Chains A and B, each alone.
Chain A
Amino acid sequence: MKHLSKRFGAAQILQDISFDVADGEFCILLGPSGCGKSTVLRLIAGLEQPSGGEIAIDAERVDTLAPRERDIAFVFQNYALYPHMTVFDNLAFSLRLRGMSTNDIGSKVKEAARLLEIEELLQRRPQALSGGQRQRVALGRAIVRQPKIFLFDEPLSNLDATLRASMRVELARLHRRLRATIVYVTHDQAEALTLGEKIIVLHQGTIQQTGAASEIYHKPANTMVARFVGTPQMNCFKGKLDDNGALLHCNSLRLDLTGLLQTALARLAGRSLTLGVRPEDFHVADPGQGWISGIVDLVEDLGSDRFLHVKCDGIDVVARTGRERRIRPEDRIDLHVATEQVHFFLDDKRIEP
């Protein structure tokens, strides 16, 4: 896919999108709603026509072909099963259209049904299925075709939380088993990070970053990616470096960078800088020993660990901590962070100090 763009009337939905998906790769398009990720998928499927650029599958240009000539399968967010057909007929539909023999269809459908554990549902209609079962049927409809590419458009977003988690695991297993090439759209970072071999973060119609899950998480290319990936969000301190680069003025908060990276930042003295710290990289320090301190505003207890919402001179900071210390609202605490855990962004772009 090269320099793809899409306009609807005056609205530029996608701008210069280029990426490759290797054979057998699980590629995720991640982004907030309205970023254009579904449009990318629909362009690959041929449900929309690009305004510019080209799309190729196996080095063959497909952007002028009809959807049925592209050999792709699409799993829709709302499943889009054929309600007037049984599950068996839903799965067999595409095979029948290709004129496959009844015997072959039967065995292919059974094989897919066994893989997805929906064998006992084959004679039912979509109406009589639960959300999770419908989702499996939608998957089955894609699998029986053995297409070159699977396209998934937020396939799990209509399921409840537990089902979503188990389907996520199952999808990963399925991918390993079928070695299928997958392009998967989601706004859910947990899905993206656990499933994706390659993640493409989209925002406002442009690619923000492409990389493996750990790269996206640990080396976000800009503040948008940094804030979008990770829960709770990365803490961002936006401010101005003072003359020698030792202090970051962030509203009324003074962040001392001497301990962190003073020498390297001296060249940026006087510039605006954003400093990012992931909540889990903060540690509660002994009084007076921390990098910043503040008053605890709220403690969210998640059982395994806790999120501390701390007010530091008017700036809200979130820290994720273990359960070792007793911490209550209104307590004054000190937080520490290791040098290598701090992210720096100049003009919203990542810099390595």
Chain B
Amino acid sequence: MKRSVALLFYSIGIALYCLVPFLWFVLTSLKSSAELTAIPPELIPSFHWGFYQSALQNYGLLHYVANSAIVAAATALITVAIGSLAAYAIARFQLTWTNFYLLLLLVVSMFPQIAIAGPIWTILDRLQWLNTYQGLVAAYIALSLPLAIWILATFFREVPREIEEAALIDGCSRLQALYKVVLPLAAPGILTAGLLVFIHAWNEFFFALIIMTDPTVQTLPVGIALFPGEYTMPWGEIAAASTIATLPLVVLTLIFQRGIVRGLSAGAVKG
């Protein structure tokens, strides 16, 4: 009893610690201009929706949301598609180099972004892909593939080999066995990988900043960062935009949480 109470306080403490910045800008976004600059600061806002209206109308927020959605969705889809094939090979064919390959992937994903920013910018420049969706998506795919492959390989390894062999005997080719049997069974893994890649692409700032200089194709983080004008610092609009940028991630995670947790493989083999 004593322990569970302590645990409860501990959990609440950690949750608060993580949520404070989030709560701060959510509360800020709901203030009126007067409350925003009031001294001493007001904690409880008056639930004024003016900043949201202003962010949407004066700063073209929806436009950035659309750009972000396109880039993040495309990145997630393509990364999972490519990553599945690689992860399947790693999980099923125990070749001598698979462990080395996995290690290599890990090393690659550790490179500091600034180290590869120059080459990526040059490559995209040559391809004339700067300021295009495909340019940013290509860069994101390269950045997220290692993580996706790691996650997917783990899930593929858990799909019982016999189920796939049954499919091969029932008349599937390797590729058919993969997408008719293995992929549906590894769905939680695919959701997890897809979601993580999506979130990463949605939040990414640095590459978006250097690749997308044209406001028409800029994504949310860059768009919001460029809200401040020469003489203005629109805190309210920034807070409102940040809240809107956060919402899709919260919703997506809540929707897919069940899918991620659900063990689809249950009942396949004795158990």
On whether A67 and B264 interact (CB within 8 A), knowing A79-B269, A83-B185, A98-B171, the answer reads no
Prevailing SS type, chain B contact patch: helix
Within 8 Å by CB of B171, from A68, A84, A126, lies A68
Residues in B whose Cβ lies below 8 Å from that of A81: 163, 166, 267-268
Q: A93 on the interface (CB 8 Å rule)?
A: yes
Task: Please tell me if the beta carbons of A127 and B184 are within 8 angstroms of each other in the complex.
Answer: no
Complex Cα spacing A94 to B162, Å = 15
Answer yes or no: B160 CB below 8 A from chain A CBs: yes
| A350 adjacent to chain B (CB < 8 Å) | no
How far apart are the CA atoms of A94 and B169 in the complex, in Å? 9
Q: How far is the CA of A274 from the CA of B213 in the complex (A)?
A: 90
Task: List CB contacts (< 8 Å) of B28-70 with chain A.
Answer: none
| Interface check B265, CB cutoff 8 A | yes
Q: How many residues of B contact A (CB 8 A)?
A: 24
Question: A28 interface residue, CB < 8 Å from B?
Answer: no
B173 touches A68 (CB 8 A): yes
B184 near A84 with CB under 8 A, answer: yes
Near B by CB (< 8 A), chain A positions 123-182 give 125-129, 131, 134, 141, 145, 158
| A86-105 near B? 1/0 per residue, CB < 8 Å | 00000001100110000000
In chain A, what residue has the closest Cβ to B269? A78
A67 to chain B, nearest CB (A): 5
Q: Which of A67, A82, A93 contacts B268 (CB 8 A)?
A: A82
Interface contact A47-B167, CB-CB below 8 Å: no
**B160→A97 contact, CB < 8 A:** no
Q: A76-B162, A84-B185 are in contact. Are A68 and B270 (CB under 8 A)?
A: no
CA distance A145 to B171 in the complex (A): 10
Mask, A202-237, CB within 8 Å of B = 1, is 000000000000000000000000000000000000
> B20-34: which residues lie under 8 A (CB-CB) from chain A?
none
Q: Please measure, in the bound complex, the distance between the C-alpha atom of A128 and the C-alpha atom of B265, giving whole angstroms.
A: 13
| Docked complex Cα distance between A45 and B166 (Å) | 10
Residues of A within 8 A of B173 (CB): 66, 68
Check if A82 sits within 8 Å of B267, measured CB to CB. no
- Assess the A80–B165 pair: CB atoms within 8 A: yes
A126 touches B169 (CB 8 A): no
CB of B268 within 8 A of CB of A80, answer yes
Query: Does A74 sit within 8 A of B, measured CB to CB?
Result: yes
Contact status B185-A72, CB under 8 Å: no
Contact of B166 among A80, A98, A127 (CB under 8 A): A80
- Which residues of the partner chain A approach B191 to less than 8 Å between Cβ atoms? none
Q: Is B138 an interface residue (CB 8 A)?
A: no
A47 touching B165, Cβ below 8 Å: yes
Expressed in whole angstroms, the Cα–Cα distance for A134 and B171 within the complex equals: 21
Known interface pairs A74-B165, A82-B163. Does A93 touch B170 (Cβ–Cβ under 8 Å)?
A: yes
A68, B172: Cβ atoms closer than 8 Å = yes
CB distance from B178 to the nearest CB of A (A): 13
The answer for the CA separation of A266 and B83 in the assembled complex, in Å, is 75
By a CB distance below 8 angstroms, the chain B residues around A79 are 268-270
Q: Is B168 an interface residue (CB 8 A)?
A: yes
A47, A68, A81, A141: which has the most chain B beta carbons within 10 Å? A68
**How many A residues have CB within 8 A of the partner chain?**
32
> A73 at interface (Cβ–Cβ under 8 A)?
yes
Give B244-271 as 1s and 0s: 1 = Cβ < 8 Å from A's Cβ atoms: 0000000000000000000011111110
Known: A78-B269, A79-B269, A82-B163. A97 touches B168 (CB 8 A): no
Beta-carbon contact of B169 and A74 below 8 Å: yes
Chain A positions within 8 Å of B166 at CB level: 74, 76, 80-82, 141
Determine if B176 is an interface residue (Cβ-Cβ < 8 Å).
yes
Interchain CB contact under 8 A, A45 and B169? yes
Is there an interface contact between B172 and A97, defined as CB atoms closer than 8 Å?
Answer: yes
**Is B170 a contact partner of A94 (Cβ separation < 8 A)?**
yes
With both chains docked as a complex, state the minimum distance between the C-beta of A34 and any C-beta of chain B, in angstroms: 18
Complex: A47 Cα to B163 Cα, angstroms: 12
Contact B160 A73 (CB under 8 A): no
3 A-B pairs with the lowest CB-CB distances in the bound complex, closest first? A127-B267, A80-B162, A78-B269
What residues make up the interface of B, taking CB atoms closer than 8 Å to A?
160, 162-163, 165-173, 176, 180-181, 184-185, 264-270
Q: Which residues of A line the B interface, CB within 8 A?
A: 45-47, 66-68, 72-74, 76-84, 93-94, 97-98, 125-129, 131, 134, 141, 145, 158
Beyond A74-B166, A84-B184: 10 further Cβ-contacts under 8 Å? A47-B165, A66-B168, A68-B172, A76-B165, A79-B270, A80-B165, A81-B267, A82-B167, A84-B185, A145-B170
* A-B residue pairs in contact (CB < 8 Å), sample of 10: A66-B168, A74-B169, A79-B269, A80-B165, A83-B185, A83-B268, A93-B180, A127-B267, A131-B270, A141-B166
